[in-house]
Amino acid sequence: MLRYLLKRLLIMVVTLWIIITLTFVLMVSIPGSPFNSEKSSNEIVQANLERHYNLDEPYYVQYLLYIKSIVTFDFGPSIKQPNQSVNDLLARGFPISFELGIVTIIVAVFSGIILGILAALKHNGFIDYLMMGIAVLGISIPNFILATLLIQQLAVKFSIFPVATWSSPAHMVLPVLALATGPMAIIARLTRSTMLEVLTQDYIKMAKAKGLSPWKITIKHALRNALMPVVTIMGTLLAGILTGTFVIEQIFAIPGMGKYFVESINQRDYPVIMGTTVFYSAFLIFMLFLVDIAYGILDPRIKVHKEGE
Amino acid sequence: MEKILEVKDLHVTFTTYGGTVKAVRGVNFYLNKGETLAIVGESGCGKSVTSNAIMRLIPDPPGKISNGTILFKGTDLTRVSEKEMRGIRGVDISMIFQDPMTALNPTLTIGTQLMEGLKQHHKVSGAEARKKALEMMDLVGIPNPDERLKQYPHQFSGGMRQRIVIAIALICEPELLIADEPTTALDVTIQAQILELFEKIQHATGVSIILITHDLGVVAKIADRIAVMYAGKIIEVGTKREIFYNPEHPYTKGLLNSVPRLDLQGEKLIPIDGTPPDLFSPPTGCPFTARCPFAMEVCDKVYPEVSALSDSHQVNCWLQDERAKQLLAEAVTK
């Protein structure tokens, strides 16, 4: 197991390095520099500024400096807001984005699985059709459309929830709803179809023949087997939710990471681009790692192979 | 002898898009305490449906027990509620399935699957359940039971899994065991071991067994009585000796003729020509008429009454009618 973890860790580091390098290449190949928009600066000032941020160095030196800043986890100050460091921005924005993301994932996973189970147990019944109708809508409506619809109806027209910002649980409802509906619908459909398949398996019939209650059969025997594909797509869904938070944060004016992420790219704020990208990539890679670990817990057949086996 | 199970006029139908399939059409049989009854017949004749009906495991919809009674120790199982039935399944009646590779849940340990039936129906402590589980593992012949309880199904071979399935079925000490083709999915050598295990278990616990199979070799080894099913009906029933040495129904004869025999080397096997009837619209007369070499006009029109050849041997065939016998005798003298 330890050997496997170390191997995974190494792969994670390599993945991260590839992401860093690609980001760097993309970043320097975008035309323009952080100081293009500064009207007051003359050429000498601009040169001084570039020297200050090491932007006058050749690319490989800049690249090595970036690697160094990542390894030491010190991305330096933002170019556009020199009074705060990238770490400050992360410390301020990430907890909010994280909160939004985590609540969304929890809502999506639980409601998706429950809807899927209900639909499977009432296969071809009214509940099944209703659930799957909702699911198809959920998959086909993009989250930014849903977000604006929710604001218009529930916040503006009926004033049930606040329109925007992020300060109380009530503020969470609309953004989470907008962000969670898509993943929830995907999970619900997947859970339903795998549940239907699992429910026809012999071991379910065997569980019935033991005289177990339908509840026990569903939870203990069927669900665990039906969850495997759901775990598989969790990786993709996580990435989707992560990028989704950027859009949703913009719409609801939530002071999370999304704002810095998008603004930094528009303003060529190199340290912020690098910092946010690396941070988010590392986070996503770690989540995918957790998903892989979850496999082994759910299905005992998936075990780490010892060398030579 | 005490009858533990008596099935009377059992009808099971399945409603599909194509129409209603009459899978079981008026089946009658009984089972004495401690005996083994084999139900034999070709695929699709309704033998598995009959066994599932006794356990009330017919998926409804589309399936339905449309008529008949299943008397288990005086209780009509077709009339008890689903909740009462749950108290009977696994406790009084247990079932063994065909394929041990799929009958065990791959995500739960053998121990969990073995003990959960016991825990469901009896108030037992963890230690007591474990003790009983170890006993059962010992009974079905699994070495190192202590260690094996913690393992998962994929760590067992097919034969070992079938032993586990049998242990699960027996852990609550049922009075009736329904084995639905318990050896079909196994190698021949393992088959023999499992059949010996059945004999051993019956000897040790006195459990009554209904054995569903299409393998006459299995039947010859462990059955006391045999019921031959064809197109949703039992067409002949008798003791093992009566069925193997004095088969009366042309279908039973045909079935026995299509089994290879070691003592008749070089003889050709005689298969039964044709295919079974369509159970969407089964014939009103004897369903075997179209394939029967002795078919008469009446066979196609009226289903024959049961004729008793002895206390235990009954057959549904027009050839048993006095008039048919007379005709035959006349034909021979001519």
Check which CATH number belongs to the domain holding B179 and give it: 3.40.50.300
Q: Give contacts of B57 with chain A, Cβ < 8 Å.
A: 205, 208-209
Same structural domain for residues A110 and A227?
Answer: yes
Q: Is the pLDDT of residue A91 over 70?
A: yes
Same structural domain for residues A127 and A98?
Answer: yes
- Asked if residues A270 and A27 have their Cβ atoms less than 8 Å apart, the reply is yes
Assigned token pair, B291: 């394939």
Residue B285 lies in a domain: no
Task: Quick: pLDDT tens for B244-293.
Answer: 999 999 999 888 888 877 777 777 788 888 888 888 888 888 888 888 88
Residue B330 lies in a domain: no
Across residues A253-272, what is the average pLDDT? 82
- On average, the pLDDT of chain B sits at 87
Residue A306 lies in a domain: no
**Domain final residue, candidates B248, B276, B304:** B276
Q: Do A301 and B121 touch (CB under 8 A)?
A: no
Beta-sheet strand order (sheet of B314-316):
B93-96, B176-180, B208-213, B36-40, B225-230, B233-239, B314-316, B306-308
Residue B312 lies in a domain: no
Task: Domain count for chain A, please give it.
Answer: 2
The partner residue sitting opposite B107, judged by closest CB among A207, A210, A300, is: A300
Buried b (16+ CB within 10 A) or exposed e, A73-110: eebbbbbbbeeebbeebbeebbebbebbbebbbebbbe
**Domain final residue, candidates A11, A42, A71:** A71
Number of neighbouring beta carbons within 10 Å of residue A267: 18
Same structural domain for residues B112 and B87?
Answer: no
Same structural domain for residues A107 and A54?
Answer: no
Say what the pLDDT of residue A53 is: 74
Question: In the structure, what pLDDT confidence band is assigned to residue A89 with cuts at 50, 70 and 90?
Answer: confident
Closest alpha carbon to A15 in A287, A293, A281: A281
Q: Is the pLDDT of residue B112 over 70?
A: yes
Size of interface A-B (CB pairs under 8 A): 75
Domain coverage including residue B179:
3-92+174-261+269-276
Same structural domain for residues A35 and A159?
Answer: no
Same structural domain for residues B206 and B70?
Answer: yes
pTM to 2 decimals? Answer: 0.79
Number of neighbouring beta carbons within 10 Å of residue B68: 18
For chain B, say whether A300 makes contact (Cβ under 8 Å): yes
Same structural domain for residues B120 and B214?
Answer: no
Across residues B37-53, what is the average pLDDT? 89
Domain with residue A284: its CATH number is: 1.10.3720.10
Same structural domain for residues A119 and A259?
Answer: yes
Across residues B106-135, what is the average pLDDT? 88
Residue B332 lies in a domain: no
Question: In the structure, what pLDDT confidence band is assigned to residue A309 with cuts at 50, 70 and 90?
Answer: very low
- How far apart are alpha carbons A268 and B218 in whole angstroms? 80
Residue A2 lies in a domain: no
Q: Give contacts of A212 with chain B, Cβ < 8 Å.
A: 86, 90, 116-117, 120
Q: Give contacts of A298 with chain B, Cβ < 8 Å.
A: 107
* Closest chain A residue by Cα to residue B93: A209
Q: Is the pLDDT of residue A258 over 90?
A: no
Q: Do B103 and A206 touch (CB under 8 A)?
A: yes
For chain B, say whether A301 makes contact (Cβ under 8 Å): yes
Residue type, A145: I
**Which of A20-29, A242-251, A292-301, B1-10 is predicted with the least confidence, judged by mean pLDDT?**
A292-301
**Domain final residue, candidates B138, B172, B206:** B172
Same structural domain for residues A292 and A178?
Answer: yes
For chain A, say whether B191 makes contact (Cβ under 8 Å): no
- How far apart are alpha carbons A157 and A151 in whole angstroms? 8
Closest alpha carbon to A57 in A89, A28, A83: A28
Same structural domain for residues B36 and B157?
Answer: no
* Closest chain B residue by Cα to residue A124: B61
What crossing angle do the helices spanning A143-150 and A224-252 adopt, rounded to 10°? 60
Give B199→chain A minimum CA distance, Å.
22
Residue A119 lies in a domain: yes
Q: Is the pLDDT of residue A308 over 60?
A: no
How much of chain A is in helix, strand and coil states, percent to nearest 5?
75, 0, 25
Across residues B222-242, what is the average pLDDT? 91
How much of chain B is in helix, strand and coil states, percent to nearest 5?
40, 25, 40
Q: Give contacts of A301 with chain B, Cβ < 8 Å.
A: 106, 152, 154
The partner residue sitting opposite A301, judged by closest CB among B104, B117, B154, is: B154
Residue A7 lies in a domain: no
Residue A12 lies in a domain: no
Q: Do A225 and B107 touch (CB under 8 A)?
A: yes
Same structural domain for residues B88 and B187?
Answer: yes
Say what the pLDDT of residue A307 is: 42
Assigned token pair, A116: 């899927």
Residue B220 lies in a domain: yes
Residue A84 lies in a domain: no
Question: What DSSP element (H or E) covers B239?
Answer: strand B233-239
- How far apart are alpha carbons B283 and A105 in whole angstroms? 59
Same structural domain for residues B119 and B77?
Answer: no
Question: In the structure, what pLDDT confidence band is assigned to residue B50 with cuts at 50, 70 and 90?
Answer: very high
Across residues B307-328, what is the average pLDDT? 86
Q: Give contacts of B181 with chain A, Cβ < 8 Å.
A: none
Domain coverage including residue A36:
19-71
Same structural domain for residues B32 and B152?
Answer: no
Say what the pLDDT of residue A306 is: 47
The percentage of chain A sitting over the pLDDT mark of 70, rounded to a whole number, equals 95
- How far apart are alpha carbons B330 and B256 in whole angstroms? 28
Across residues A31-50, what is the average pLDDT? 70
Question: What DSSP element (H or E) covers A178?
Answer: helix A169-199
Instruction: Identify the residue among A194, A197, A202 best suited for mutation to test binding to B, counting B beta carbons within 10 A and taking the highest.
Output: A202
- On average, the pLDDT of chain A sits at 84
**Domain final residue, candidates B152, B172, B192:** B172
Same structural domain for residues A236 and A156?
Answer: yes
The partner residue sitting opposite B152, judged by closest CB among A202, A220, A300, is: A300
Residue B302 lies in a domain: no
Same structural domain for residues A222 and A169?
Answer: yes
Q: Do A211 and B89 touch (CB under 8 A)?
A: yes
Same structural domain for residues A158 and A278?
Answer: yes
Same structural domain for residues B12 and B155?
Answer: no
Give A302→chain B minimum CA distance, Å.
10
Q: Give contacts of B108 with chain A, Cβ < 8 Å.
A: 220-221, 224
The burial class, CB within 10 Å (0-12 / 13-18 / 19+), for B298 is: middle
DSSP string of A99-161, one letter each residue? HHHHHHHHHHHHHHHHHHHHHHHTTTSHHHHHHHHHHHHHHHS-HHHHHHHHIIIIIIIS--S
Same structural domain for residues A171 and A281?
Answer: yes
Q: Give contacts of A300 with chain B, Cβ < 8 Å.
A: 106-107, 109, 152, 154
Same structural domain for residues B153 and B181?
Answer: no
Say yes or no: ipTM exceeds 0.95: no
Question: In the structure, what pLDDT confidence band is assigned to residue B39 with cuts at 50, 70 and 90?
Answer: very high
Q: Is the pLDDT of residue B143 over 70?
A: yes
Residue A85 lies in a domain: no
Bigger pLDDT: B251 or A164?
A: B251
A178 phi/psi in degrees, rounded to 5: -65, -40
Task: Domain count for chain B, please give it.
Answer: 2
Same structural domain for residues B166 and B202?
Answer: no
Say what the pLDDT of residue A192 is: 93
The stretches of chain B forming alpha helices (DSSP H) are 47-54, 82-88, 100-103, 110-121, 126-139, 145-148, 158-170, 188-205, 216-222, 240-245, 250-257, 297-301, 322-333
- How far apart are alpha carbons B248 and B256 in whole angstroms? 11
The partner residue sitting opposite A205, judged by closest CB among B57, B94, B154, is: B57
* Closest chain B residue by Cα to residue A202: B103
Among A residues 190-229, those touching chain B with beta carbons less than 8 Å apart: 201-203, 205-213, 216, 220-221, 224-225
Buried b (16+ CB within 10 A) or exposed e, B10-47: bbbbbeeeeeebbbbbebbbbbeebbbbbbbbbeebbb
Same structural domain for residues B114 and B254?
Answer: no
Same structural domain for residues B84 and B187?
Answer: yes
Same structural domain for residues A175 and A40?
Answer: no
Residue A139 lies in a domain: yes
For chain A, say whether B5 makes contact (Cβ under 8 Å): no
Q: Do A209 and B154 touch (CB under 8 A)?
A: no
Same structural domain for residues A50 and A110?
Answer: no
Q: Give contacts of A207 with chain B, Cβ < 8 Å.
A: 105
